[in-house]
Amino acid sequence: MDISRADLKHLASLSNFSMSDEELDSLSGDLQNIVSYISELNALDTEGVEPTYQVFEMENVWRDDEIKPMDANREELLDLTTEEKEHQIKVPKVL
């Protein structure tokens, strides 16, 4: 499978990344190598092999529905944002 510049641009836009031409060039090379490497797995015959979704073979791991004290308070969390207003996170207008 070939990774084109258009594919990479599409992927970047889905994640809202802006990339320079140089970055696009170098990343498409890197990504192409990764995909080629992984593609080698296609040589294996996986007929009848169940897909592996996780490797720990655990299931039904859940907790009780009890409120626990917060590990961090609102101000500590909001301090991590670039800009806040009225205890909310301020972001460029979307839509």
Partner 1 sequence: MKYIPTIGVECHVQLATKTKLFSEIDNDARGKEPNSCVSPVDYALPGMLPRLNGEAIKFAIRAGRAMNCKINNYSRFDRKHYFYPDSPKGYQITQFYHPIIGEGYVELPSGTKVRVEHAHLEGDAGKLTHFDTYSLVDLNRVDTPLIEIVSMPDIHSAADARDYCKELWRLMTFAGVSYGDLYNGNMRFDVNVSIAPEGSDELGTRTETKNLNSFRSIERAVEYEIKRQTKLLEAGEKVVQETRGWNDATGETTGQRSKEEAKDYRYMPEPDLPPINLTDEFIAEESAKLPLMPADYRAKFNGHLPNDTLEILLDYPQLIAKLAEVDEFAIKKVANWFTSVLLAEENTSLLNDALPSENQLEELVTMTDKNELSSTGAKEVFIKFFDPEMHFKATREIAKELGVIQENDLGALEAIVDAVLAKPETQKAQEDYRNGEQKVIGFLVGQVMKESHGKANPSAVQEILKKKLA
Q: Which residues bind partner 1 (CB under 8 A)?
A: 10, 13-16, 53-54, 56, 58-68, 70-72, 74, 77-78, 80, 85-95
Least gap, CB of 48 to partner 1 (angstroms): 19
For partner 1, give the closer residue by CB, 12 or 32: 12
For partner 1, give the closer residue by CB, 42 or 87: 87
Task: Report the sign of the C-alpha dihedral through residues 51, 54, 59, 60, in that order.
Answer: negative
* CA gap 28, 9 in Å, rounded: 9
Non-local (6+) Cβ contacts of 87 within 8 A are 74, 78
Would you call 72 helix, strand, or coil by DSSP?
Answer: coil
Least gap, CB of 54 to partner 1 (angstroms): 6
